Structure 1
Amino acid sequence: MKAAIITSPEAGPRYGDFKEPEAAEGEAVISVTAAPISPIVRTRAAMKPASDDGKGFVVGVDGVGKDASGRYVYFLFPKAPFDALAERTLVPAAMTVPVPDGLSDIRAAAIATAGLASWDALTRRVPIKSGQTVLVTGANGAAGRLALNVARHLGAGRTIAVVRSADKLDGLAADTGIALDARDADDALKAVFDVGVDVVLDFVWGSVAERVLTVAMAGRGSPAGEPRCSYLVLGTLGGTTVPLSGYGLQSSGLDILGAGIGSVPVRDYLASAGELMAAAQEAGWTPPCEVVPLADIASVWKRSGEVRYIIHPDVTG
């Protein structure tokens, strides 16, 4: 079969032939029809060591495809060395969830890759309460845009979008937009935190998080106690570390938490996928994405991560 194969993490994936997966008891061979290239796919590919046999491994984390019965399913974490960016993959049967009838494979994959982090964060990690205020950093990205919709769908009373530049605010479904390149950006951030932010969904971390957290912690320390704010780290596109003020944390109501697999069980993450796809179909969410053939994997891999690419093995260039 054809697949996106990595023999050297530094070189990225190449299009080539790979051995066919064979299912043992409790496993399923999935004919892949749509698999996303998300930030976690790139990160995991870069972290894996080169294979000893020189044959490499297939790259990818999740996707949509047909099982042996012809049913479309969303799958997560295929069994090594088979991963999602291939014509076929091998997964534990328990790591699949049916795609709702009427939801296309491409749209299902786009919804899962863009919305699963925020859905899981707001239903499992810190369940949102009706009327709460949710702030999203990196709100112009595929995950950030859908996070605004997810938050509102789950009951948020107010949403705030934080982006790097004013042009990134166009078309965002948020009550308030803050561009960090604006002169009054820090004042605008302080104003929303003074009014009250209940949950932050941070897809960026790095310098953006440092700036947001600095403002959120400034001038706190009320003897009556500060209101709670759950700051959830969902991505690290802007950097993997952030300097924090210990005193600032002591005097604020901030709880900084990670959100993702590990902070919640895999079974909950998979259940979230089913819930998210059903909600997306009902709400009509269609995250932007670009469908490309598997044969183009090498060139797509080098392109900007701002575009969410969906690999479709059946598409020809």
Structure 2
Amino acid sequence: MTLVLFSAPDSVWDEYRDVLPRAIARAGVEARIIRDDALTDPTEVDYIVYAPSSRLKDFTPFTRLKAVLNLWAGVEAIAPNPTLKAPLARMVDYGLTEGMVEWCVGHTLRHHLGMDQDIRRNDAEWHPHVPPLARWRNITVLGLGALGEAVARALVDLNFRVTGWSRRQKDIGGICCLSGDDGLREALSSAEILILLLPLTDNTRDLMDRNRLALLPKGACVINPGRGPLIVDEDLIDALDSGQIAHATLDVFRTEPLPPEHPFWAHDGVTVTPHIASDTRPQSAADVVAENLRRGETGEPFLHLVDRSAGY
């Protein structure tokens, strides 16, 4: 019998209590799931289903561990852990992908069409304006992983002119794919709307500082559903105040929940959403976990393994 430790807060377990056992059974795996408070012998654990908000930080006692299966797409809270020697898989599933696509496309269209100036008008005056067609709007997506590529493809399908940038060179039909420092400058210089979908690593932290924000066309919009520390908060506020950036729609922040005193809340040029762009949905995520358990037990390669040296 395969022993699976579900290491996450009670609120997370409540969401998976029913759907995860059913998904594991459908995958044909005979497994027993235990919680942290029921763990008596770490050496008997085969797999850990893990939320980075878990109290578990030392993996050394888990000498039989075959893999850690992360419930979130982001792994920056666990990937650098020196005590973790087993393979680490991040969460990639259709729920995360479709949720991110819908959120990003929605806010891209909002900025592209200038919806805010129509919705917020309360002066009883007629203010007609005609936005450009999507084919005349330049969108840049930083990060072409599973989520970034899906968002970029959806925008291409709407006829936007899409440029994508990634650390490694990609080749995706319909998308101008760039990489490297020169490619980043080129990608930013055309970005009327910039979407940040990069993982958080030592190389991407504070990426969008005042110098890179200055590379954007004047009046650009920034959309960040990726990671809060990709942007230097103070530099973004300065760019908004100067008019270099017209608006920033932010779903992720350095501190979450975003503190009430943070200037983002009161700034007219900032839209704050409470980390809702894409969340792990138990119904779809449980199937991914179950499939990786099946693969581990049959000797097949795990899905969505993390490159620990790259941090994602």
Q: TM-score range by the shorter chain?
A: 0.3 to 0.5
User: Under a length normalisation based on structure 1, what TM-score does the superposition of the two structures give?
Assistant: 0.45
User: Under a length normalisation based on structure 2, what TM-score does the superposition of the two structures give?
Assistant: 0.46
Kindly name which structure, 1 or 2, has the bigger radius of gyration based on alpha carbons.
2
